[in-house]
Amino acid sequence: MTQNPGVKAGLTPVANAAELKAALENGESVQLTADITLNVLESLLARIQIGKNNPQDITIDGTNPTTGQRHLLNIADIAVLAPTTQLYIGSTGMQKKTIKFTNLRINNNNYYGLCHPTNESYANGSTLLLENVEYNSSAQSLHFMQGVIAFSGNNTITQTAGTWSQELAETGRLDFRGGTTTINHAGGGSYGLIRIDQNPTDGIAPGIQVSGGAKVSITTNNAIFPASGAGIPQINIESKGSGSNLALNAGGHIFGVTGSSSSKAVASDGGTINVTKANNFYQTGTTNRTIAATNNGHINLKLAGSLYYYAQSQSPMSATQDSTIDIQSTTNLFTSYLQKSPITADKNSSIKLASNSDVFGAYVQDSPISATNNSEVNLNAGKDIFAYIYNPSSGNPIMQMTTDTTSKMTLTAKDAFIRNIQANGLNLDIGGQLSATFGQYLAVSGARPLMHDFRDNSIIDLTINGAQSIANGLIPLASAGSYMKIGDDSQVTINNQTTTNQSVLFGLGGSNSPVTIGDSDVTINNNTVAATRLFENIKFNLENTTGQSPHTIYRGVSLTEKDQTKTIYPFVHFDSTIGTTNTTNSSDTNFKTKFESLTSTQNIAQLHLHDPLPPEIITLINTGGLPADDAQKFKFALNGTATPASELTLNFLSAAGQSLLKGPAKAAAANQAFDYQFESDLPTQPNQIVVEANYPAPYALTTPVRKVLKDIPAGKLGFLAAPTHLDFGSLPLTNSQSPLYPYTKTADTSLIVSDPRATTRGDWAIQVNLKQPFTAGQATLDNALVWRKDQTTKPLVAGQPQQLYSKAAHAPIQPGADETDLTDLLHETVQTQFPAGPKQTATPYTAELELMLITAPN
């Protein structure tokens, strides 16, 4: 066989209807070499049964062998009966086969479309594939009920209005396998895009599937799925795979009909579903109507109607693994009740539901809403978020809205967060972030249990800004079981932006609902209405019952009154009951007095609880005198006041901040006096006398507050102690030379040298010099003071100093001062001996000795 130039291998060239008929009925794939028109009115015998003599996969290629242009296959047939269709399948031999139209321009005006099986079962399991096709039809374009219609390459399908323009296709599924396909459909009457009457045999559910990165844009003047045959259990829309995108613009509903057991819209693995226009998304069905985005899947819906028109049960919505769901509606998003249908965002995903009216327009039951693992749920209502929250069914928890520590929930309601709620109430459990703005929180009369768990490290911003239809208080806690718990390290802001006089936090009269706050930053802003209370029937505690390290909670408190007077309390523990009677217990009596004076909190414009502020040392009085610069030892007394209650310590600090002074530390209650007394040796380096204030654990400041009282210079070599007199007592009188007598030891006879120098020590000596001999009136006793040392005994002579002791230079061997005690040596060395001769009796003799510390400079 010789291949014609330009004709693709395996294809038979055809130039007219007769050649096309012969080749296709023989099961040959063909390539058009010219435009071909098929018109059954010319001859019924001209009808073409594809694969009649040799059933197999068949390709009809419109590429001109010479120019490469696309030829036209023109089906010019206005008949509407199946037997008059020009291209048809007429036997079971073509089951599970693929008929491919590629690189063609196609015109059609036959009701049964491009390729119709005369018996629907003849196309069972088969695929009608359009690739790189420009298809214009004024009648139904495609009729392949028991097979799948697939698209690849770049296609444009346009079905215009006409007598026989109904659905675009009657088939099991539209399957888009890559490329770009644009479909514009104008069906007559209520005929929508696709009618499904059979299940495909490939195991994939009926509906629309987009994969392989296909870009699909579909516009129809009616519904996407307007109707279906009986017994279709599931009809789905799915977009999967990186870059796959399905864009739907519908003049009617998306699911005008759903599967008898379930339907789902799923975007996965990088796929996207975009609905830019539609009425209701799910018009029918009451169970297992799901919406899911997973693994970088994205679903975006803009609806003029509802997401669900009928009540739903077991119809979950989920976004997970870097996925998003964004749904907007001009009416109630959920028109009827929602039951056992959780809404879940997980693993870096988000769900945003917005309505110009109510988000949930009927009751919600057993349908928790959650965001976990760095995800977000955003609910935005032009009216109410919840029209009605029901009690849970048996065995299920109450309605819960939760985030973990990494996730966020954003709630916006122009009117009410909750319009009505049954007796079991709601649990708002936030571990991450909550940003909420409501006109009013609860719009039904009568109290309901509302539980608020703002966990450790949560960030809460809650604003009420509208008119109040019921006197529930702005945040209603007036039912038994209602509470607000704020954990440690959280940031909570509650804003009253209303013009009402209703209390911001309103609890249960008589019992007083609990509001507990841990080590967190909490700001509650009131409005300017004179009678509006911050709290009413509230038991306010500083505590964290779930904290990992239970301890007494202290906060800094800033109180701003409505006249803008602001008072700050740096370190306060308190509990307060604001109800029929108002009582406050506090570690700070000034705070207690102030808080109880504010007319049941109605005079408070802002209450801000924050980290403790640094202590403030108010007064310091040194009652004993600061030590002199050259003092070797000193005693020091200090008293004064400090605020707030803190552990105050007096430290003697080195340049490196090391405490060298050991003394008592005394806890001082707020605004109460402290009193310290210390005794210390001379420091060896430049030092300071510093009073230091800090808080007890776990509030201890990394850098305590310090106040310097005195700078102390570096220690110097000197006498730590030296005698001021030596007393020889009463001695026997004789005219002959007396024996040697030592002086009497008293408390004033210690001789100690201190050497605190930081570098070289030693290289000093002690000398004793006689300045004046013993005298009594005009009488003098020469040679009476004797120097007895190193086996030598000699009189001390004025002006001739004798060396008592010397110490060689050396490096410091200890952090403190070197102390050399020469008391005993002095006692052994300096003695007295009365010379022979006359002496006065009963008369004190006195002499003057000089102790000299001699050192080389260093």
Contacts of 581 (CB under 8 A, 6+ apart): none
**Does some domain include residue 265?**
no
- Length reported for the chain: 858
User: Which of 712, 727, 756 represents a domain boundary (last residue)?
Assistant: 712
**Does some domain include residue 440?**
no
DSSP state of 23: H
CA separation, residue 504 to residues 433, 463, 494, 531 (Å): 21, 10, 9, 11
DSSP state of 835: P
Based on the fold, state whether residues 455 and 470 are members of the same structural domain.
yes
CA separation, residue 207 to residues 145, 196, 220, 258 (Å): 12, 8, 16, 10
Give me the amino acid identity at 357: S
Rounded to 10 degrees, what is the CA torsion of 159, 163, 164, 169? 30
CB 418 within 8 A of CB 442: yes
The pair of structure tokens assigned to 763 is: 């290289």
The pair of structure tokens assigned to 378 is: 């955003």
The pair of structure tokens assigned to 706 is: 């310090």
CB 108 within 8 A of CB 135: yes
Cβ neighbours, 10 Å, residue 709: 16
User: What pLDDT, in 10s, does the model give residues 323-342?
Assistant: 999 999 999 999 999 999 99
| Pairing outcome for strands 262-268 and 234-240 | parallel
Distance CA 713, CA 786 (A): 40
Q: End-to-end CA distance of the chain, in Å?
A: 117
User: What pLDDT, in 10s, does the model give residues 483-509?
Assistant: 999 999 999 999 999 999 999 999 999
| Residue 35 exposed, middle or buried by CB count within 10 Å (0-12, 13-18, 19+) | middle
**Does some domain include residue 17?**
no
Q: What are the b/e assignments for 588-619, b being 16+ CB within 10 Å? A: beebbebbeebebbbbbbbbbbbebbbbebee
Distance CA 358, CA 191 (A): 31
∠791-796-800 over CA atoms, to 5°? 110
CB 431 within 8 A of CB 460: no
Mean pLDDT of 74-103: 84
The pair of structure tokens assigned to 46 is: 């001209």
Q: What are the b/e assignments for 354-369, b being 16+ CB within 10 Å? A: bbebbbbbbbbbbbbb
Distance CA 61, CA 131 (A): 9
Q: Among 315-329, 627-641, 722-736, 840-854, whose mean pLDDT is lowest?
A: 627-641
The pair of structure tokens assigned to 682 is: 């001379």
User: What pLDDT, in 10s, does the model give residues 407-417?
Assistant: 999 999 999 99
Per-residue pLDDT, 728: 85
**Does some domain include residue 700?**
yes
User: What pLDDT, in 10s, does the model give residues 640-696?
Assistant: 566 665 555 555 554 445 444 444 444 444 444 555 545 555 555 556 666 667 787
Distance CA 62, CA 40 (A): 21
Per-residue pLDDT, 195: 93
CA separation, residue 110 to residues 139, 140, 143, 471, 661 (Å): 6, 7, 10, 68, 106
Q: Which contiguous run of DSSP H or E holds residue 67? A: none
Q: Which contiguous run of DSSP H or E holds residue 181? A: strand 180-185
User: What pLDDT, in 10s, does the model give residues 14-73?
Assistant: 999 999 999 999 999 999 999 999 886 656 677 899 999 999 999 999 999 888 899 999
User: What pLDDT, in 10s, does the model give residues 232-245?
Assistant: 999 999 999 999 99
Three-class SS of residue 293? strand
Three-class SS of residue 716? coil
Distance CA 616, CA 802 (A): 57
User: Which of 587, 611, 635 represents a domain boundary (last residue)?
Assistant: 611
Contacts of 426 (CB under 8 A, 6+ apart): 389, 398, 399, 400, 401, 418, 448, 449, 450, 451
User: Which of 712, 742, 763 represents a domain boundary (last residue)?
Assistant: 712
Cβ neighbours, 10 Å, residue 467: 10
Based on the fold, state whether residues 466 and 598 are members of the same structural domain.
yes
**Does some domain include residue 226?**
no
**Does some domain include residue 107?**
no
Instruction: Tell which residue, 254, 253, 192, has the closest CA to residue 220.
Output: 192
205 pLDDT tier (thresholds 50, 70, 90) = very high
The pair of structure tokens assigned to 253 is: 């509903």
CB 502 within 8 A of CB 473: yes
DSSP state of 827: H
Mean pLDDT of 374-393: 98
Residue 403 domain boundaries: 305-417
Instruction: Tell which residue, 157, 162, 154, 42, has the closest CA to residue 110.
Output: 162
The pair of structure tokens assigned to 466 is: 């509208």
Distance CA 829, CA 821 (A): 14
**Does some domain include residue 731?**
yes
CB 38 within 8 A of CB 73: yes
Per-residue pLDDT, 546: 73
Based on the fold, state whether residues 787 and 838 are members of the same structural domain.
yes
Instruction: Tell which residue, 206, 160, 369, 193, has the closest CA to residue 275.
Output: 193
Based on the fold, state whether residues 641 and 744 are members of the same structural domain.
no
Based on the fold, state whether residues 452 and 589 are members of the same structural domain.
yes
Distance CA 203, CA 798 (A): 127
Based on the fold, state whether residues 701 and 738 are members of the same structural domain.
no
User: What pLDDT, in 10s, does the model give residues 691-733?
Assistant: 667 787 888 888 877 777 677 677 788 888 889 888 888 888 7
Based on the fold, state whether residues 451 and 519 are members of the same structural domain.
yes
Task: Give the chain's mean pLDDT.
Answer: 88
Based on the fold, state whether residues 400 and 546 are members of the same structural domain.
no
Per-residue pLDDT, 741: 86
Based on the fold, state whether residues 481 and 602 are members of the same structural domain.
yes
Distance CA 306, CA 329 (A): 6
Cβ neighbours, 10 Å, residue 231: 10
Mean pLDDT of 454-464: 97
CB 177 within 8 A of CB 149: no
User: What pLDDT, in 10s, does the model give residues 724-783?
Assistant: 888 888 888 777 788 888 888 776 778 999 888 878 888 999 999 999 998 988 888 888
The pair of structure tokens assigned to 158 is: 């346009």
Instruction: Tell which residue, 91, 12, 103, has the closest CA to residue 58.
Output: 12
User: What pLDDT, in 10s, does the model give residues 254-283?
Assistant: 999 999 999 999 999 999 999 999 999 999
Based on the fold, state whether residues 345 and 399 are members of the same structural domain.
yes
Based on the fold, state whether residues 707 and 738 are members of the same structural domain.
no
CATH number at residue 663: 2.60.40.10
CB 198 within 8 A of CB 144: no
Three-class SS of residue 566? strand
Distance CA 159, CA 166 (A): 9
619 pLDDT tier (thresholds 50, 70, 90) = low
Total domains in the fold of the chain:
4
**Does some domain include residue 114?**
no
Based on the fold, state whether residues 454 and 600 are members of the same structural domain.
yes
Residue 87 pLDDT more than 60? yes
